[in-house]
Structure 1
Amino acid sequence: MEVRFEEKDFLACCGSARFAHEMASAGPFRSLTDAVSAARDIWFNMVDVNGWLEAFAAHPQIGESASSTHGKSQTSAQWSKGEQSTALATATGSILQELSEWNVQYRQKFGFIFLICASGRTSSEILAELKKRYQNRPIVEFQIAAEEQMKVTELRLAKLFSEKDRVASAGDQDLARVAKKSEEDRVSIISGHFTAGPKSPSNKVPQSTAQTRPPITTHVLDVSQGHPGAGIEVHLEKWRQDCPRPVFSGLDISSWDLLGSSTTDKDGRSGPLMKIVDAVDPGLYRISFNTGKYCPSGFFPFVSIVFEIRETQKLEHFHVPLLLSPFSFTTYRGS
């Protein structure tokens, strides 16, 4: 069954008129998964800088009532209120004042409001992230803000599909199954922002994985050129479990097991670097990029990013991007 939405529906998900138009043209969609895939392609490859800024401006300032965002749709305002509910519920007067002051500083430095997927975050967590990101260079922060906008868009697309499913499935068993599948897609794509639904009875064993992508992914952005880093070789490795936990000077190459390799595509995204699994094995992981081949005149012949996944995080998704220039690079934990 295909689901069609209007431009105004997608505009409530993301405040870019170009995004809403392209999404409406790309529809109808068979599932939330298809809609999210189209959304990411449109957002990162078709919407220009002005469209990104338009979407940023559609959000209320963090710590500000959504009702004060004049001229925006009621749906968008209501969703913003829900997304900031945890932050507002945990905010004290002093924290709200500090948030307001830092928001002003942030906007003066970068030219747009501080954007973060606030769902489930406390006001203290948001303030700490704001202070941390304020130190970024503008081009790096612009990319992070775009990633955060995409997280919000995915959340809202899930809500859009859920509402459509609830209406369409009334009294219809076939459509109810579609709604259930949409809910499963929603959880698998943005599990970091949603909790799973009711647990299955203990006497039933899941028949297949609910995940739709490997638990570790990456992409490369060439910030010196302002476009994706295409054609870069990428390796993903895991520290062998039978080896002692390494210290700073003990990252022996023989103790790493290669899990997979790929080359980034025209969008800077790597292909699958490992199998799709429900839970990733805890441990140390390393993603290495052949940056010297991509940029022979650069300072870095290759870049390796080592990170640790803990037992409590094994059900989460880890997106570890590389933001690269000839003489600097940075990374962050995405989702």
Structure 2
Amino acid sequence: MTDTGIGLDAFDALPDTAAENLLLSCCSSPAWARAVANGRPYGTLADLLAAADRALDALDEDEIDRALAGHPRIGDRPDNANSAREQAAMSDADTAVRAAIAEGNRAYEARFGHVYLVCATGRTPAELLAILRERLGHEPAVERRIVRTELAEINRIRLRRLITPGAAA
């Protein structure tokens, strides 16, 4: 994904396959990428973000799992630019916080069956750990709703960066 943003007009003009591939860099659910690409053209960024939220809301749990599979664990070395940017604060985490997050990640995955997903942008390692510990106490159905909310926020951040020239957030 580019750091400069391609602009909404350029995004709307992409061939379907290219648009879907670009959208997969925001969210790894093929059904989500297809739905968002098929909704083009968008008149405004707000229209695109609303369509992305609707597409996410319509996903079944298998597609949510596909979306989650595209996210590394908090604290792991991300293998894509989006996750690396979003988890940048983790590079400053001390050894104790890193170890606690790694332990929490294992407990979370054992309890819920998927990666701990949180919108890490702008959050400190201590905040990410506190959120993780809190969420470990949730019932699975509650946690699944929270995961959808976090995924929507991550998608919106990534879409803004994708579309908006000069966007850094």
TM-score range, shorter chain: 0.7 to 0.9
Where do residues 52-201 of structure 1 align in structure 2 (5 Å cutoff)? 52-67=64-79, 77-86=80-89, 88-162=90-164, 165=165
After superposing on structure 2, the runs of 4+ consecutive aligned residues of structure 1 that deviate more than 2 Å are none
Deviation at 1:28, TM superposition (A): 2.0
Structure 2, unaligned runs of 5 or more: 1-7
Larger relative contact order, structure 1 or 2 (CA cutoff 8 Å, min sep 6): 2
The alignment's TM-score, normalised by the length of structure 1, stands at 0.45
Cα deviation, residue 90, structure 1: 2.8
Higher helix content, 1 or 2: 2
Q: 1:66 is paired with a residue of what secondary structure?
A: coil
RMSD: 1.5
Query: Structure 1 CA distance, aligned partners of 2:44 and 2:21?
Result: 19
1:135 partner letter = G
Alignment of 1:1-335 (within 5 A): 2=9, 3-4=11-12, 5=14, 6-45=19-58, 47-67=59-79, 77-86=80-89, 88-162=90-164, 165=165
Query: For residue 159 of structure 1, what is the amino acid of its counterpart?
Result: R
> AA paired with 1:50?
D
Q: Which amino acid aligns with 1:136?
A: H
Deviation at 1:89, TM superposition (A): 3.1
3-state SS of paired residue (2:50): helix
Give per-residue Cα distances to partners, 1:232-282, cap 9 Å, x unaligned: xxxxxxxxxxxxxxxxxxxxxxxxxxxxxxxxxxxxxxxxxxxxxxxxxxx
- The letter of the residue matching 1:83 is E
Deviation at 1:29, TM superposition (A): 1.6
SS at match of 1:41: helix
Give the counterpart letter for 2:25 in structure 1.
Answer: A
Deviation at 1:42, TM superposition (A): 0.8
Deviations 1:150-184 (A, max 9, x none): 0000000000112xx46xxxxxxxxxxxxxxxx7x
Q: For 2:118 and 2:154, locate their aligned partners in 1 and report how far apart those are by CA, in whole Å.
A: 8
User: What percent identity do the matched residue pairs reach?
Assistant: 30
Cα deviation, 1:262-304, whole Å, max 9, x if unaligned, reads xxxxxxxxxxxxxxxxxxxxxxxxxxxxxxxxxxxxxxxxxxx
Aligned length, in residue pairs: 155
CA apart distance, 1:127: 0.3
More strand by share: 1
- The match for 1:209 is none
Per-residue deviation at 1:93? 1.2
In structure 1, C-alpha distance between the alignment counterparts of 2:50 and 2:112, rounded to whole Å: 29
Deviation of the 1:30 alpha carbon:
2.0
Structure 1, unpaired ranges of 5+: 68-76, 167-182, 184-193, 195-335
Deviation, structure 1 residue 137:
0.2
CA displacement 1:177-198 (0-9 Å, x = unmatched) = xxxxxx7xxxxxxxxxx6xxxx
State the TM-score, normalized to the length of structure 2: 0.87
- Distance in 2, Cα, partners of 1:90 & 1:57: 25
**One-letter amino acid of the structure 2 residue matched with residue 20 of structure 1:** A
* Residue identity in the other structure for 1:24: A
